[in-house]
Amino acid sequence: MIGAGPAGFYCADQLLGQGFEVDLYDVLPTPFGLVRAGVAPDHPKIKSVTRVYEKTAAKPGFRFFGGVELGSDVQREDLLERYHAVIYAVGTAADNKLGIPGEDRPGSHAATEFVAWYNGHPDFADHEFDLTASRAVVIGNGNVAIDVARMLVLDPDEVRPTDTADHAVAGLAAAQVEHVIMLGRRGPAQAAFTNPELRELGELARADVIVNPEEVELDAHSAAWLESEGEPTNRRNVEILREYAQRPPGSKSHRIELRFLRSPLEVIGDDDGPVSALRVMRNRIEPDESGRLRAVPTGEEEVIECGLVMRSIGYRGNPLPGVPFDERRGLIRNDGGRVTDEEGAPLAGEYAVGWIKRGPSGVIGTNKKDAADTVARIAEDVEAGRLNEPRVDDPEECHRWLSRRIPGLVTWEGWQAIDTHEQGLGEPQGRPRVKLVRVPEMISIAERRS
Ligand code: NAP
């Protein structure tokens, strides 16, 4: 199994239950994927799902190999020589692009990078975010956009007791952002937020939530859609937003404002200089031929002055060397979890699970069902004798091979040493942990136990 995030762990657990032995690989010395490096640090309850994964790791037949990159440290062919099944659970690490001028100018960031930075992902520990602007725009109407907007205005006293990386605790405390504008290209009825996350925006200690009443007046198409086909989540989102629109003006020092029906056209600034504004197009909602409600430009433009832009418009996968990839969808080419070639024929013993299989949607628990579907395909292939036939079928030899090849290989015991060390650093500060953000330091702590 390649990738020790939620999908990898749920899949590993179900395979262990079916009598398989599972080696779970990760490129980082630490497990848990987006639970460690994605879930917002002020949501410790969501992060506590790692206890479930720890139970999986304690089961006989489970091994963790951290610090192993597929494509550089080991190749797909190496794994197919050693395993009956190789399952890709690598998630979707890249960000979608807006494809507009100025997108990459200083002060315009992918939300993925900001999230990875405040969560202490080693690859982003040296990123610099200039948070001195007083107004920021967050583009996108999903839960990641909500996380980013909220983190920008949390009171430093709310950030300090969390496991936010130390560099980000300091960076966020010094931030001067007072006004965050969240932009949706479609309307309130089409927002991708889930209800608890949207509700939380209205309960922040030092930020008021602002929605102009005219922003939540629904067009006829959206009103009819909400009535007939809209999910309860969509209806409830609209209710919550209407409640926000009726709130009397607040007096908190910070504010998060939601604006809808606006698509970014250009990130404005001087020459190669930093962001000074965002030019947007006002949209209206219209159904396309399939009946899906889409944003259509009205021709009316606006300029929103701001010094920081966070682009939070979804993720896409990075291709893995040698593994069939659907460029259009940004996912591993697969049929219900079976990796397939260009013609759609399944490749023996190769599977996908989680976001790299179905796309970046749903909550953590969605990956449990997703894993069950892939494991059902594996079980069918076991029955039909369609698994891969490895040349080396010896788990001990596999461990020796990896240890020879990767000097800093981190086992589960090594991760437990890192975990204990981080928690020990956090304890005197009343924090769940202080995250290590340097891979060499993680490896040296892990080697005390590996
Ligand atoms: P998401 O839910 O898919 O939202 C992406 C947003 O970007 C949508 O509002 C989409 O609008 C918008 N968008 C896409 N392309 C755009 C463009 N070119 N211009 C303007 N807007 C554009 O993605 P996400 O926020 O990255 O979240 C990923 C998944 O993680 C979701 O399932 C989410 O619920 C989950 N998550 C959950 C939590 C939590 O439970 N607390 C926290 C974080 C993330 P359209 O609808 O118009 O396409």
> Do 311 and 109 form a contact (C-beta atoms < 8 A)?
yes
How far, in Å, from the CA of 235 to the mean position of ligand 1? 17
Q: What φ, ψ does residue 119 adopt, rounded to 5°?
A: -90, 5
Q: What spacing in Å lies between the alpha carbon of 6 and ligand 1's midpoint? A: 19
Distance 270 CA to ligand 1 centre (A): 30
CA-closest residue to ligand 1 atom 40:
363
Please, which pLDDT band fits residue 135 given cuts at 50, 70 and 90? very high
93-103: per-residue pLDDT in tens?
999 999 999 99
Position 444 pLDDT exceeds 60: yes
Buried b vs exposed e over 71-108: b needs ≥16 C-beta within 10 Å?
A: eebbebebbbbbbbbbbbbbbbbebbebebebbebebb
Average pLDDT, integer, range 148-168: 97
**Cα separation of 267 and 109, whole Å?**
11
97-313 domain in CATH 3.50.50.60? Answer: yes
Of all protein residues, the one whose alpha carbon is nearest to atom 26 of ligand 1 is 314
Q: Is the CB of 140 under 6 A from ligand 1?
A: yes
Residue 313 CA to ligand 1 center (angstroms) comes to: 6
d(CA 295, CA 141): 13
| Cα 317 to ligand 1 centroid, rounded to whole Å | 15
Round to whole Å and give the CA distance between 311 and 329: 19
Minimum-distance ligand 1 atom for the alpha carbon of 38: 43
List Cβ neighbours of 25 (8 Å cut-off, separation of 6 or more): 1, 2, 3, 4, 65, 66, 68, 70, 74
Give yes or no for residue 388 CB within 6 A of ligand 1: no
Nearest ligand 1 atom to the CA of 96 is: 15
Q: CA-CA distances (angstroms) from residue 209 to 93, 97, 149, 243, 314?
A: 30, 28, 11, 10, 23
Domain extents in the chain = 6-93+316-409, 97-313
340-390 residue pLDDT tens: 999 999 999 999 999 999 999 999 999 999 999 999 999 999 999 999 999
What pLDDT is attached to residue 5? 98
Q: Is 46 strand, coil or helix?
A: helix
Residue 95, SS3? strand
Return the bridge partners of 264, or none: 280
DSSP SS3 for 62: strand
Ligand 1 centroid, distance to 312 Cα (angstroms): 7
- Cβ(6) – ligand 1 distance below 6 Å: no
Distance 140 CA to ligand 1 centre (A): 6
- By most ligand atoms within 8 Å of CB, the mutation choice from 115, 146, 185 for ligand 1 is 185
User: What is the longest distance spanned by two Cα atoms in the chain?
Assistant: 70
Distance CA(188)–CA(244), nearest Å, equals 12
Q: What is the CATH code for 6-93+316-409?
A: 3.40.50.720
The reply to whether ligand 1 has any atom less than 6 angstroms from the CB of 424 is: no
Q: If you measure from the C-alpha of residue 314 to the centroid of ligand 1, how many angstroms do you get, rounded to a whole number?
A: 5
Atom of ligand 1 nearest to the CA of 362: 32
Read off the pLDDT of residues 413-426 as tens digits, 9 standing for 90 and up: 999 999 999 999 99
CA 47 to centroid of ligand 1, rounded, Å: 20
Is the pLDDT reported for residue 449 higher than 80?
A: no
pLDDT of 450 > 80? The answer is no
Which pLDDT score is estimated for 12? 98
Which residue's CA lies nearest to atom 29 of ligand 1? Answer: 361
Query: In Å, what is the CA distance from 398 to each residue of 70, 79, 148?
Result: 15, 9, 41
Model pLDDT, residue 118: 98
Half-sphere exposure of 375 (CA within 13 A, CB side): 22
* pTM, 2 dp: 0.96
* Whether residue 313 has its Cβ less than 6 Å from ligand 1: yes
CB 185 near ligand 1, within 6 Å: yes
Regarding the beta carbon of 207 and ligand 1, being less than 6 Å apart is answered no
Cβ–Cβ under 8 Å, residues 100 and 267:
yes
Residue 286 CA: distances (Å) to CA of 98, 220, 236, 295, 349: 21, 9, 22, 7, 45
Question: According to the model, what pLDDT value does residue 37 have?
Answer: 97
Atom of ligand 1 nearest to the CA of 191: 9
Atom of ligand 1 nearest to the CA of 197: 41
pLDDT at 303 over 70: yes
Ligand 1 neighbourhood includes 112 CB (under 6 angstroms): no
Band of the pLDDT at 172, cuts 50, 70, 90? very high
Let me know how many helices (H) and strands (E) the chain has, helices first: 17, 19
Mean pLDDT score, 230-248: 97
CA atoms within 13 A on the CB side of 383: 7
Sign of CA dihedral 414, 419, 420, 424: positive
Position 448 confidence tier, pLDDT thresholds 50, 70, 90: confident
For residue 187 and ligand 1, the question of a CB distance below 6 A is answered with no
Mutational pocket test of ligand 1: of 45, 96, 144, the residue with most ligand atoms within 8 Å of the beta carbon = 144
User: Do residues 41 and 119 lie in contact, with contact meaning Cβ atoms separated by under 8 Å?
Assistant: yes
Q: Outline where DSSP puts E strands in 36-163.
A: 62-66, 86-88, 94-95, 108-110, 135-139
- Listed in sequence order, the residues at least 6 apart from 221 whose beta carbon sits closer than 8 Å to its beta carbon are 285, 286, 287, 293
**In this structure, which residue's CA is closest to atom 7 in ligand 1?**
313
Ligand 1 and 2: CB distance under 6 A: no
